[in-house]
Structure 1
Amino acid sequence: MAQKATKTLAASNARRLQQTLYATLIIHAIFWLLRALVFRSSFTRRSLLLYVLFSAPQLFIHFQFTRIGSPTYGPDGSVKRSGEDLEAKGLTEYMWDVTYWTYGCILLAAVLGDWAWWFWAVMPVYSVYLAWTTYKGVRGGFTDAAGVPQPEAATSKRQAKMEKRGGQRMQYR
């Protein structure tokens, strides 16, 4: 049972990377098959350029996930390094969002044509929105959606009752 968390994370990462690889291969193959066989007349250099331009971030992210998330095993089969957690919050979570959104855009572009790549523009707009709300939260002292400042430290019920009665007030420094 030694290093159970490391083994669990390694197995989870390996499974997730394998699923992502298969999904990437299938989605890109569907794009190429539909564009080459069904919509052959609308497959131009411009279409190829748009495909390369908009699928490159997803492919880069996939290679990054493979590089940082792949577990390393020793010669005896033990886990040397489990890799970074691919379920982490923050940037990793955003990178998964980019991957899944790009999958959808590739499928839409394969079926609907080149104008469907405009859906890919949602990601930068979403990034700007997240950056703006984070900036406003830091600048405004972390208020909620209605603009009401959040208390720094909540008082206990006992403490609130004592302060309400006027007895033994707490001095905050």
Structure 2
Amino acid sequence: MAQKAVKTLAASNTRRLNQTLYATLATHGLYWLLRALLFRRSFSGRSLALYILLSAPQLLVNFWFERIARPVYHADGSVRRAGEDLEAKGLTEYLWDVTYWTYGCVVLAALLGDSAWWLWGVVPVYSGYAAWTTYTGMRGGYTDAVGVPQPGAASKRQQKMEKRGGQKVAYR
């Protein structure tokens, strides 16, 4: 049964990595095609530097995903290593956000010009916000989280029971 889970994860990783590869090629190909055809006069060394600097994180993330998640097979076709789960929460989820946001910025920079690269600044701002809220939540002991009862506050059920005179135990 465990082999079925490994095969499923390997197939899922292969499909997701192939989709990501095709999306990356299409996105960056569109950028270079539009830059070559429409914005040839405005394409400068500054534009190239911005493109390299701001699309490099996404390309590095894709390379890292390939290294950790691409399944490895034996010669007979059985799975040697399924790779890491690309649906994992936490850092993997954040790296997918960086990938998709970069796709959007590359397409907008291809269509609107270099000023669209300013949108990439949202990623560090969001990272700072997420780090700050995590820090303040840990510092406060996560007591201000929604749905977490405060130590001194009784639940509605407890309040009703106290109103009725407390919990009564019936012996048979």
Confirm or deny that 1:98 pairs with 2:87: no
CA distance 1:150–1:39, shift in 2 (3 Å) = same
CA distance 1:167–1:90, shift in 2 (3 Å) = same
Unaligned runs of 5+ in 1: 169-173
Measure, in 1, the Cα distance between the counterparts of 2:92 and 2:150: 30
Measure, in 1, the Cα distance between the counterparts of 2:165 and 2:90: 45
Measure, in 1, the Cα distance between the counterparts of 2:68 and 2:164: 55
CA distance 1:86–1:2, shift in 2 (3 Å) = closer
**What code does the residue aligned with 1:150 have?**
P
Measure, in 2, the Cα distance between the counterparts of 1:164 and 1:70: 62
Secondary structure (helix, strand or coil) at the match of 1:89 reads coil
Secondary structure (helix, strand or coil) at the match of 1:77 reads coil
**What code does the residue aligned with 1:24 have?**
T
Measure, in 1, the Cα distance between the counterparts of 2:119 and 2:79: 41
**What code does the residue aligned with 1:11 have?**
A
Instruction: Tell me how large the CA RMSD over aligned residues is.
Output: 2.5
Q: Would the aligned equivalents of 2:161 and 2:167 in 1 still touch at CA under 8 Å?
A: no
Find the counterpart in structure 2 of residue 171 from structure 1: none
Q: Would the aligned equivalents of 2:71 and 2:79 in 1 still touch at CA under 8 Å?
A: yes
Secondary structure (helix, strand or coil) at the match of 1:165 reads coil
Deviation at residue 163 of structure 1 after TM alignment: 9.7
Deviation at residue 150 of structure 1 after TM alignment: 3.4
Give the paired residue count: 165
Measure, in 2, the Cα distance between the counterparts of 1:23 and 1:60: 15
**What code does the residue aligned with 1:107 have?**
V
Deviation at residue 151 of structure 1 after TM alignment: 4.3
Q: Would the aligned equivalents of 2:27 and 2:103 in 1 still touch at CA under 8 Å?
A: yes
Measure, in 1, the Cα distance between the counterparts of 2:119 and 2:148: 36
Q: Would the aligned equivalents of 1:141 and 1:149 in 2 still touch at CA under 8 Å?
A: no
User: Percent identical across equivalent pairs?
Assistant: 64
Confirm or deny that 1:81 pairs with 2:81: yes
Kindly report structure 1 stretches of 4+ aligned residues shifted beyond 4 Å: none
Unaligned runs of 5+ in 2: none
Secondary structure (helix, strand or coil) at the match of 2:41 reads helix
Secondary structure (helix, strand or coil) at the match of 1:80 reads strand
Find the counterpart in structure 1 of residue 43 from structure 2: 43
Confirm or deny that 1:121 pairs with 2:102: no
CA distance 1:161–1:22, shift in 2 (3 Å) = same
Q: Would the aligned equivalents of 1:13 and 1:69 in 2 still touch at CA under 8 Å?
A: yes
Q: Cα deviation per residue 1:77-115 (whole Å; 9 max; x = unaligned)?
A: 111110000000000000000000000000000110111
Tell me the TM-score normalised to structure 2 length: 0.87
Find the counterpart in structure 2 of residue 144 from structure 1: 145
